[in-house]
Structure 1
Amino acid sequence: MGNNKTNNNTTRRYSIIQVLVITCDLCLCNGLFYLLYYWTGFCKQHPTQEATLPQTLITLSLCYLICTIHRGVVLHNDKVHPYQIVWRAFLNVFYFSFISGFLLTAGHFIEISFSFFITYLLSLFVSESICRLLIRICIKKYRTNKNHIHYVVLIGSTTNNIELYHELTNNLTYGYAVTGYFDDQPNPEMDALNCPYLGKPEKVQDYLASHTYIHSLFCCLPSRRASTIVPIINYCENNLVHFYSVPNLRNYLHNRVFFNMLGNVPYLSLRPDPLSQPENKFLKRAFDIVFSLTFLCTFFPIILIIVTIITKITMPGPVFFRQKRNGLNDREFYCIKFRSMKVNKDADTLQATKDDPRKTKWGNIMRKTNIDELPQFINVLLGDMSIVGPRPHMLKHTEEYSKLINKYMVRHFVKPGITGWSQVTGYRGETKELKDMEGRVLGDIWYIEHWSFGLDLYIIYRTVRNIFHGEKNAY
């Protein structure tokens, strides 16, 4: 079955929520003490202190982290009631009061009055409770918003899929909505759950074709139905629908599959998908924003002035070239580049070749040094692209190659990049033969399956190195 990976949804999917809650708690912990500190000073009741205020606040922060870092956050749990959130906040403040009170007193940090400390603790408890309840409400509103819901269909209605239906629908924080199920005949148990019967499994592809908003499909048909299942898998892989088998695919799919858990229900995915994890998405997007913003505010204005002057001198027409390309989930966007060719009617359909007569001498220099790609940092900042990812293709190429290369559309499960794994491993530039594009697609899928922040940094390094060393396919 390949390399198994057990997903703890509580710690993996919602680690960002945990970090957010603890960060908010620390802000309250320090902010309230700071406000009370100056309020008591205004009233001539300022507590005597032997340590500086920053030292005191750091000590309070460490004490609070000890009390809350492991078991202090319950917002990410499957089912949690408001009283549980308030009770957890109370426990955090209760233990915090003993630890912080002892350390501040024993360490001679500060001598505070009983009324000061009680006022601080009560304010912290009330503020923390309100903050956590508001975050929980925001999570529910976010997940129930139509723009954020992931729509799911089920194939089969065995015990596994019935339990899976409960897991998907009982917990709003997962953000799933089940549109219905397919089976050879209606199942009274599913009907009792108000899960619509959509027809026989043979009708799945027609349904997906007419309901393009479907994100995921969970299949629990037995392996003897391979003749029905395999076409569904191929359709999903080529039309941006995530396919999951409950519980396994071994008898009809010979490549590696990966074990996952959703609540108490096991399912298998076709590949590892690190960038589906919220913390990885957050890290990658944060890096994209910081990197692109830094470049656009420093080097880019100088490069823009130089490129504009030389372009205007060497060829008529605009400085920038905008072209529609396919991005995340096949969404179209305008990819921005410095124009390196004469204005021509084939710009949106014909790839650049080594001795392309449309290129100018200055354009050829820009292409060899990758200067023409630099405006795409604007695309990165806007969220259409990432620094690293599969290179976006022209609409015409996506339409053609998606019909010729199996799993071609998988590369659109992540944002396209300015540079990518395929580009630094020999698959940059013109695709003269079908095997060239097949190699590029395989490289893109490998990147999606093996993504890490370190891999992105290595690809950036290889890209910069290739610029100085030169690339034979850079034209």
Structure 2
Amino acid sequence: MQKKKNVKLHFLQQFIDILFLIIFFLIYLKLQYQYFWTEKYPLEKIPTYFELLKSHYKALFLFIMIWFIIAKNVSLYDIVRRVKFVDILKKIIYQILYFSIVVFAISGLKTSDLFSPQLGIAYILTLFIFDLISRLLIFIYYRKLHIKGQDLSNILVIDENDNTNRFIDLLVERKDLGIRLFKKIEKKDISTDKDSLLFFGKEFRAYISENQIEKIFISQKGDIDKKLINLITQLSETNLLSVSYIPDSIYNGITELKVVYIDTLPILEVKRFPLDLKFNQLIKNIFDIVFSSLVCVFLLSWLYPIIALLIYLDSKGPILFIQKRNGLNGVEFDCYKFRTMRASKYNSIKATERNDPRVTKIGKFLRKTSFDELPQFINVLKGEMSIVGPRPHMVSQDQYYRDIINRYNLRHYVKPGITGLSQVKGYRGAIDSDEDMEKRIRTDVYYVRNWSYLLDFQIIYLTIMLVIKGDDNAI
């Protein structure tokens, strides 16, 4: 049933895209004849839409064909549950960028322009906007269905490790993912009868068919015998059931595995982190410099003196609080903040607590609005920090947590940020337990492994919203 719905959605998206592509092709083509006619001889009359279609059907057919060739390569119509809208947006951007090259190339190859440069850009932007809106509406529609407990995908979780219950708790908490745990299957629930595999005494194929199971998640390094796990995997593939694995550690060193072949032998190759690529580093650094320069010129230039005066009038001490933090590759640097506490020799070694008596009146406001972090744009210009990245911790915290939280130091693989994924996810403020820090590190590790331009823009947008609304987790 679910697969039929996915097929319908697949063709619905394709139909909508073809419809938009044809309609706006004819609209802008008519505008071309009506307002952007470039030939020396005058037009006797403006052609009708039917006449335009009859004259330019070859170019239109070529547009449609190339649109779907590009869509196939960027996986535009692949339907994947638990997908984030930022991933959909990324596919749309790639689709439109590649398609725009084709539009201008075909237009330029004709004896007379198919579209003028202005109309060509307008055509591309219109397709982008309508493509974005249509997918956003579909995304919101299915998200609401999932939250109501409808249209959910049944899954099985096989075996158990340290992360299995975390995964199950996540499914319960995040119904919008569209995934429902049908059953957690342990070693005692599995048996064999001759060559048949049984779940709760029922043959494997019959069990998954009757319960409409769509996917199996296998916990790595659990209690079930390896031969049984291999049999489950084999039968799943035979019954066209996809299999995923829950790792025994969320901090393992694997980023993403890619299958490559040496002759006919498959080899798993570990893919690099996104910011290993020099081009990505360059683009991120350019954005950091440009963004920080604009903030310093148009915001800090007048706001700095005002905040400095308020701090001076509120309590004695320096305007800036300068503290050693660990940066890229663990190298220490001087991190700048507006001083929000009364001067004390313990400020550099003792973390902020809830209702901390050291925080001044103006300091509470600066922390609530995150204005205390503004001087760190200077750190960005010095190349010590980035706009977005894992927040830099106190040196004493780094020394403590790197020994008790696995993969902690992976956060030093990139420059620390003024804001980060942990902050917009709500993992900021007081650290009341090791679990609080573990949530931060888990989010930081995700950022390092999954960095993208769109992820950075999303974090910046969410940070601005937090500053406007006020962050309840800020202390």
Does the alignment reach a TM-score above 0.5?
Answer: no
- TM-score of the two chains, using structure 1 as the length reference: 0.45
- TM-score of the two chains, using structure 2 as the length reference: 0.45
